[in-house]
Amino acid sequence: MLPARHRLRERTDFTTAVRGPGASRAGGRLIVVHANRTDVRADHPPRVGFVVSKAVGNAVVRNRTKRRLRASVAARLSRLPTGLDVVVRANPAAATASWDELDLAVARQLDKACRP
């Protein structure tokens, strides 16, 4: 579980991270990562949100995928810049990916999306 200060919760925060001015995106076969840095949050810790739709699978599969993504991002949270909002969206292929594949995808896409 991510600490509360590192979680995106509001719909507007998700929308701003995905479509706001200055938003960046990096995607692959397993996941898509959206990132947005705003001046308003410059001194605040990074926040992360997850989107896992029904296209990924049933509730059990979606929750497992979300837990795996959360664990992978939590391990990299200290390396994210301050003031950054990140949304990690799982593609259907993420449901059948191994832990190593998913972890590598998260590392690659976070690096691409969070470049200054």
Task: Look at residue 115 and tell me whether its pLDDT is greater than 90.
Answer: no
Closest CA to 69 of 13, 30, 29, 12: 30
Which residue segment(s) compose the domain that 20 sits in?
Answer: 4-113
Residues 6+ apart with CB under 8 A from 30: 90, 91, 93, 94, 97, 101, 102, 105
Report the CATH number that the domain containing residue 77 is assigned in CATH: 3.30.230.10
Span 55-84, pLDDT tens digits:
999 999 999 999 999 999 999 999 998 989
Domain count, the chain: 1
Residue (of 92, 51, 49) closest to 73 by Cα position: 49
- Rounded to the nearest 10°, the torsion over CA 70, 45, 104, 113 is 120
pLDDT at 116: 67
- 9-28 pLDDT, tens digit each: 999 999 999 998 889 999 99
Q: Are 82 and 116 in contact (CB under 8 A)?
A: no
CB neighbours of 23 closer than 8 A, spacing ≥ 6? 16, 17, 34, 35, 36
Residue 94's nearest CA partner among 85, 103, 86 is 103
* pTM of the model as a whole: 0.92
